[in-house]
Structure 1
Amino acid sequence: MQTGPALVASPTPAVADRSWRGHWIGSRPASAGDVLGLGRDAEPAPFHRVLFRRTFAVDAVPDTVPARLTADSRYVLYVNGVEVGRGPQRSQPRRLCYDSHDLASCLRPGANVVAVLVTYYGNATAFWQPAVPNGSLGADATLVFEARVNGSWLVSDDDWRVHSSTAWTMPERAGVDGVPVEVRDARRLPHDWARADFDDTGWEHATVLGAAHIGGFGRTRPPTDPYGALLPRSIGELTGETVEADRVRRSYLPAAAEPVDHPIMAVRQVVDGHDRDPAEQTGFPVDLDPPQGQVSHLVVDFGRIVAGLVQFELEAPAGTRVDLLYCERPYVSGDDNPLSAPRIGAGYVARGHHDVFEALETNGLRYAHLVVSAADGAARLLRFAVRELLYPQIPGAYFRCDDAELNALYTAGVRTVQLNAHDAFTDCPTREQRAWVGDGVVHQLVQLTTNNDWRLARNYLWLGNSPRPDGILPMTVVGDIEAGGGFTIPDWSLHWVHGVYNLYRYLGDRSELLSLLPTVERILRWYLPYVDDRGTIADVPEWNLVDWASVFSTGRSALLTALWARALAEFAEIGDYVGNAGSAGWARGLLARAAEGFEDFWDETRGTYVDHVVDGEPQPAASQAAGATAIVSGLAPQERWSRIIDTITDPDTLVVRSWIGGNDGGYDPQKIADQIRGVQQVDWDAEREVVIAQPFFSYLVHEAVAQAGRAADLVTLVRRWSQFLVGGYDTFGECWGWGTPVHGWSSAPARDLVAYVLGITPAEPGFAAARVAPAPGSLRHLEGAVPTPHGLVTVQVDADRVRIVSPVPVVFVGSDGAEVRLPAGTQEIAR
């Protein structure tokens, strides 16, 4: 592996040219502003899409044509009808990023056109939050662009043509989890609008928008409020293969008497009550010729979860309507479970020619239900596909062994993270697409271990570094939840702190750490009002999720205390590394007090820690989470570690329980209502049984197992994830027995097999040295490679030897625990 910008470029590099030549432009005049110019009268526009065009001529195409642009909310850039790029990447509005592109390959001598489709969402979505408008900027679709063409500047200004399109609408009831539902009437959109030969003389001239607030001086070029200095893109370009569907079932069903406008509801309106009707298995193209009074119903199955832009080609009369419902599992008539019938989909009305649809919104799905209602006569669906848009998986890192099941688990973990790696780490690509600050730590660990591009792993920290005024982080960043404020999941901030610690271990960039440590300290200090006289955490408000498992965090909490203590220990270690001894000492003082009080949670009879203490009395409930966090935080004395692992991994006493999940594969509304009322029913033997961690929190359980010197146990423990890999699904689901079938937070086995079973981790910050501690257990052969800032570390373990190829020195740990330091290069050690 070559060291390069994919590993070492800062996620927030200095802006090389902060001032722009291009102007902010839009489709409507700016607001007049109030008397003081504070912009209080600027009402955000509703959802709409705006088309921008600028024609220009070149005598000869230069070798390079550097360009940069950004937009509020999202853009698609075309040059002579060819898509060049999409953006900007997800970010808070005052940290708006721009993208750089080279346009040369799309230009030709003579007339050319730059065309940009800009989406303005109006209301916050799962992945976009609106700016606070200043009377001119931040309340509507806006674009800034500049390119250097043969020594001259092509910039956004009032020479551009603009058209506010009526082709798109967004149903009032968009996705239940904030994912937009796209409806396009192609009759209102010229198919060739992005080509140079399109006649745009009937379009208006763009409006140049200036800052309309006191002190803004009408400035029309960035930097301006409410976006500030525009930042360069900090992550790679999303890419992926186009996946063609080849499995489709066709049936004809009665048309709805009064069709509804919402495409998802329209599909359900037709399908409900007809699930058991015969359906014919066929392939593409599909001829659709329903009897009078009926419509065509198609079910497309990709065989696995895919994520990206839905595409299809249609031959049909103008006005033919296609309603689409995207599902993770087949839709069952009348199902209101958002996991099998999520409110995601799209709608399309045919123009009667050039009916080639590609979605503008990213969606994840395995199944697509289509209801095709031809305006006049028959129709033909030529193809159906998804152009995947995922974060690039740069090759080099790998894992394989002589156990096919473990190989499949590694592959599934990588695929699950990739499906949840877009312009941020997301929980799932299907019904939600939010960037949760706790979930993302698992994605980060997997990417650091399995991908030669670490930029998104670092961007996770930059994006999450958006504290509330009181110092704690929102539960999700950039989108409707952060925009709305309100309560948060405090312990999610502690997982983000662990992400900072991961950055310290894997990259060791002092400058970057110094930019993050103030937020880390504010998070730790947020908990101080909840530290009791025993030094432990008690009575924390808001939503102390910890895990979807049935764990207790009320009263004095072992779980919250241990998570906080782990963060204190990590902050202290990083403080020493960057030369901040004062803060490190402060954290260690709190950690020492917590260790004394933490003894109150110890259950000597069971050999583990209980979840909580209420009114001075330890409660019997014990979980894997409590025992594991006791170890990884250092609060449990080392002599107890192996006994704790015995207790929390004993298959005879482990039980699966969740406060939220139901037995039907989805969330249980009654359990959620009980949670809100403070009712938590114990339906297991709390005196004897231990509640197993759900897939997310298992990353901590596995860390504890490895820290206790029991990494070989993971060869068995990770096999629990095989329950997800059935029915064609090749990804890990959200929870044991329920939830989405592709959830990024469940992907720890991919990291665990490399870091703990193969045994490759950093021995020193920034991988200045590597630690190799193989724990193959029953495996006879295993090998793999992990990325570092210095190149790949490759390890091969056989029955009689270990072979290591490393660009840095290696601390090798034998099966007896003895350590030996080896120089960089190729080494062979007898086992």
Structure 2
Amino acid sequence: NTLAILVWYFGKHGFSHNSSGLAGLYFNCPALGVVSDKSWKVIRHPSFYHTRGIQPNYRLAESNVGFDARQNIEGWEKKEYNDAGWLQAIEKGCPPVKPWGKLVERPVPLFKNCGLSHYVKTEKEGNRIIGYLPADIHVTPYIKLKARTGLLIDMRTDDYIMDLNTACASVRTEYITREGEQEFETFAWMNGHKVIYTVPEGVEVLDLKYRETGYNTDFTGYFLCEDTFYNTLWEKARRTVYVNMRDNFSDCPERERGQWWGDLTNEIAQIHYGFDTRALMLAEKAIRNLVDWQRSDGTMFAPVPAGNWYDELPQQIMASTGYYGCWDYFMYTGDSSLIRYIYPAIKKYIAVWKLDENNLVMHRKGEWDWADWGDNIDNKLLDNAWYTLLLKGAAGMARICGDEATASAYEQTMEKIRIAVNRHCRTGALYRSPGYKGLTDDRANAMMILSGIADSSCYESIAALLNNEMRASPYMERYVLEALCVMKKYDIAMKRMKTRYAPMVSAPFSTLWELWNYRPETNSNGTYNHGWSGGPMIILSKYIAGIAPETPGYSTYRIWPNECGMKEINCRVSTIKGDILFYMNNSESWKKEYRLSSPPGTTAILRLPGNCARYKIKVNGRTIVAFDETPVRDIEGCRIIRRDKEYFYLAIDPGYWVIEGI
């Protein structure tokens, strides 16, 4: 047998790559007698070249690919090929010596490879042929052609240049023809809704295809209701997350490909509802990356792993390491081993922050003092919310690690901040930090709710603010909508969602935008596929369908649907315990129906509205509640655990259940 390997060396840093500085290949399989040593032959492939003109922007580790078919080494991968003219490989030692460093086992699946497929359709415009893709996906374009020698073909996507700015360029491929019939597929993945081939005269195109690749997970989750607006929005949010998943999460797949943790906090919250559990492996990898790159002074930065970025965005790091970041991931997975791994780093990071003489959080600018896009941002008020949530998540982590004293100290600090913010920042039933001159910030007031700093006496005023002020970017919009749901203002949340996302839902894209005012005619005002934009997916699955873990890892979970006028909700969530399937139908005036398939090893807490029935509630055909004063009775596997003025709460064992209110 002969082993022949083509190795791609990036040779430069990027936002998701720290270059070793030297090309190399290492493997070690002594059981088969196959190791990477000096017995190997090596040559630099002469067909690949550096393109001229516009290059990928500095954030990308990848370069453009140029391939000159006239220089190709025909049959180099075949056993009979004569490699006598190649050089002997040079041994560089065994890991962890440089350039290898410490090796880490790949923690995520190999990429999904969907094979070559024909485009949805193709159109010819002058010397360009446009291949339409089924969605915004990762592709490697393919072409089969007949030509004379020396003609250059360009391959790129519609997403190649952002904001008419070549400094934001993504990747493209050039192919120089040889004589005769030939075919070529680039190794450089790119993304978009269209692949654009620029083909000169003298080339006869015989076939065009593309190969979709991506993170290896399936689209198992769903949310469906009778309003196609929300269905479309949910699906576009999932598409947006998926196009930002590969060997790391990213904020956008063309301009940066970097793990910005503000985006990632939202993305991880979405993968629990959209994909199978293989997606969790990418999230765990990202969390470990973050703490592994912690600096000696305790600060953290993102994106990592990176070779040309070192700047901390303090509020993004607090978001990622706190209650809505790492702790939220733990609630969905129950992975306490990960908590024990990351807790020392988070404890060290918390110590970087200080309170002032009024017990308010002292603002830290980091290297990039960024809270959100837009205007009227109450930065210091947000500091207090994010730090409180950081402490809340860390207190839970401390208890898992047996550090009760630190957990108690964190909770005492949270209480100090709560008292201080209400004393120094509360104006009536709204919040503004001392010295802040802008309009009252919708984002910061939403975060007062989520952090627990604001109590229920503020709900009506803050809800009114969020009903009228819409300044949060798509990144912070997730938290605004979530705050409305926490206050049980579901109708306002759904109305705001529809108002803000209407242009994105109606746009001819499969993904959601970075900003609210993307301009498709010039591909400007941000990207059209930004990872932070999918907050509605969380809201619809977690609060409207109402599915979320009550205890870590879904041992106990809630289904607390909030209908918001909807007659039907159909939802599926893949968990580490198995799939949850939930269906609600109240289209008949005289009956409400709920169907639940609950996986083994779980207890579901189903919340039913008090008006779900006029006469009785039946479970699998048996009456458990009758409104003629008949005593409540449980049945095997289903019991009423409490009842208040608004709701019934049923504890339900694994299996398939039909609950009817008639």
TM-score category of the 2 structures, normalised to the smaller one:
0.7 to 0.9
Q: Give the superposition deviation at 1:299.
A: 4.3
Instruction: Identify the residue that residue 251 of structure 2 maps to in structure 1.
Output: 427
Determine which of 67, 79, 85 is the counterpart of 1:184.
67
What's the CA shift string for 1:785-827, capped at 9, x where partnerless?
2122211122111211322222311222333255443333334
Determine which of 465, 474, 478 is the counterpart of 2:301.
474
User: Where in structure 2 are the equivalents of 1:69-84 lying within 5 Å?
Assistant: none
Q: Confirm or deny that 1:140 pairs with 2:29.
A: no
Instruction: Report if aligned partners of 2:143, 2:205 keep a CA contact under 8 Å in 1.
Output: yes
Instruction: Identify the residue that residue 55 of structure 2 maps to in structure 1.
Output: 174
Q: For 2:69 and 2:483, how far apart are their aligned partners in 1?
A: 56
Q: For 2:527 and 2:171, how far apart are their aligned partners in 1?
A: 14
Unmatched 5+ stretches in structure 2: 519-525, 587-591, 610-645
Instruction: Identify the residue that residue 503 of structure 2 maps to in structure 1.
Output: 723
Q: 1:489 to 1:191 in 2, by over 3 A?
A: farther
Q: Confirm or deny that 1:797 pairs with 2:584.
A: yes
User: Where in structure 2 are the equivalents of 1:5-84 lying within 5 Å?
Assistant: 56=1
What letter corresponds to residue 593 of structure 2 in structure 1?
R
Q: Give the superposition deviation at 1:422.
A: 0.5
Instruction: Identify the residue that residue 339 of structure 2 maps to in structure 1.
Output: 513
Secondary structure, counterpart of 1:804 in structure 2: strand
Instruction: Identify the residue that residue 494 of structure 1 maps to in structure 2.
Output: 318
Instruction: Identify the residue that residue 203 of structure 1 maps to in structure 2.
Output: 86
User: Where in structure 2 are the equivalents of 1:225-304 lying within 5 Å?
Assistant: 225=98, 227-241=100-114, 242-245=116-119, 247-250=121-124, 279=126, 296-302=127-133, 304=135
Q: For 2:180 and 2:96, how far apart are their aligned partners in 1?
A: 43
What's the CA shift string for 1:139-190, capped at 9, x where partnerless?
3111112447xx6322222221111223223347631243322222222222
Q: For 2:595 and 2:122, how far apart are their aligned partners in 1?
A: 49
Instruction: Identify the residue that residue 567 of structure 1 maps to in structure 2.
Output: 390
Q: For 1:821 and 1:168, how far apart are their aligned partners in 2?
A: 63
Instruction: Identify the residue that residue 309 of structure 1 maps to in structure 2.
Output: 140
What letter corresponds to residue 39 of structure 2 in structure 1?
D
Instruction: Identify the residue that residue 571 of structure 2 maps to in structure 1.
Output: 784
Q: For 2:133 and 2:177, how far apart are their aligned partners in 1?
A: 24
What's the CA shift string for 1:528-549, capped at 9, x where partnerless?
2xx3222223442232322112
Unmatched 5+ stretches in structure 1: 1-55, 57-112, 132-138, 211-220, 252-278, 280-295, 655-690
Instruction: Identify the residue that residue 410 of structure 2 maps to in structure 1.
Output: 587
Secondary structure, counterpart of 1:117 in structure 2: coil
Q: Give the superposition deviation at 1:746.
A: 0.8
Q: For 2:206 and 2:507, how far apart are their aligned partners in 1?
A: 27
Instruction: Identify the residue that residue 655 of structure 2 maps to in structure 1.
Output: 825
What's the CA shift string for 1:2-46, capped at 9, x where partnerless?
xxxxxxxxxxxxxxxxxxxxxxxxxxxxxxxxxxxxxxxxxxxxx
Instruction: Report if aligned partners of 1:410, 1:749 keep a CA contact under 8 Å in 2.
Output: yes
Secondary structure, counterpart of 2:497 in structure 1: helix
User: Where in structure 2 are the equivalents of 1:693-704 lying within 5 Å?
Assistant: 693-704=472-483
Secondary structure, counterpart of 2:284 in structure 1: helix
Q: Give the superposition deviation at 1:629.
A: 0.7
Determine which of 453, 462, 477 is the counterpart of 1:635.
453
Instruction: Identify the residue that residue 617 of structure 2 maps to in structure 1.
Output: none
Q: 1:359 to 1:536 in 2, by over 3 A?
A: farther
Instruction: Identify the residue that residue 290 of structure 2 maps to in structure 1.
Output: 464
Instruction: Identify the residue that residue 809 of structure 1 maps to in structure 2.
Output: 603
What letter corresponds to residue 121 of structure 1 in structure 2?
F
Q: For 2:534 and 2:75, how far apart are their aligned partners in 1?
A: 43
Q: For 1:642 and 1:826, how far apart are their aligned partners in 2?
A: 39
Instruction: Identify the residue that residue 735 of structure 1 maps to in structure 2.
Output: 515
Q: 1:784 to 1:380 in 2, by over 3 A?
A: same
Q: Give the superposition deviation at 1:396.
A: 3.7
Q: For 2:559 and 2:391, how far apart are their aligned partners in 1?
A: 27
What's the CA shift string for 1:250-273, capped at 9, x where partnerless?
45xxxxxxxxxxxxxxxxxxxxxx
Q: 1:736 to 1:413 in 2, by over 3 A?
A: same
Q: 1:314 to 1:609 in 2, by over 3 A?
A: farther
What letter corresponds to residue 116 of structure 1 in structure 2?
I
Q: For 2:531 and 2:121, how far apart are their aligned partners in 1?
A: 27
Q: 1:191 to 1:700 in 2, by over 3 A?
A: farther
Instruction: Report if aligned partners of 1:303, 1:728 keep a CA contact under 8 Å in 2.
Output: no
What letter corresponds to residue 22 of structure 2 in structure 1?
D
Q: Give the superposition deviation at 1:704.
A: 1.2
Secondary structure, counterpart of 2:157 in structure 1: strand
What's the CA shift string for 1:346-393, capped at 9, x where partnerless?
22212335632222222112344444346xxx1112333331221123
Q: For 2:242 and 2:448, how far apart are their aligned partners in 1?
A: 31
What letter corresponds to residue 202 of structure 1 in structure 2?
G
Determine which of 158, 162, 165 is the counterpart of 1:327.
158
Q: Give the superposition deviation at 1:247.
A: 4.4
How many residue pairs end up in the alignment? Answer: 599
Instruction: Report if aligned partners of 1:705, 1:713 keep a CA contact under 8 Å in 2.
Output: yes
What letter corresponds to residue 608 of structure 1 in structure 2?
L
Q: 1:470 to 1:386 in 2, by over 3 A?
A: farther
Q: CA RMSD in A?
A: 2.5
Q: For 2:174 and 2:363, how far apart are their aligned partners in 1?
A: 48
Secondary structure, counterpart of 1:696 in structure 2: helix
User: Where in structure 2 are the equivalents of 1:638-649 lying within 5 Å?
Assistant: 638-649=456-467
Of 464-473 and 561-570, deviating more is 464-473
Instruction: Identify the residue that residue 623 of structure 2 maps to in structure 1.
Output: none
Q: Give the superposition deviation at 1:436.
A: 1.2
Q: Confirm or deny that 1:364 pairs with 2:191.
A: yes
Instruction: Identify the residue that residue 157 of structure 1 maps to in structure 2.
Output: 37
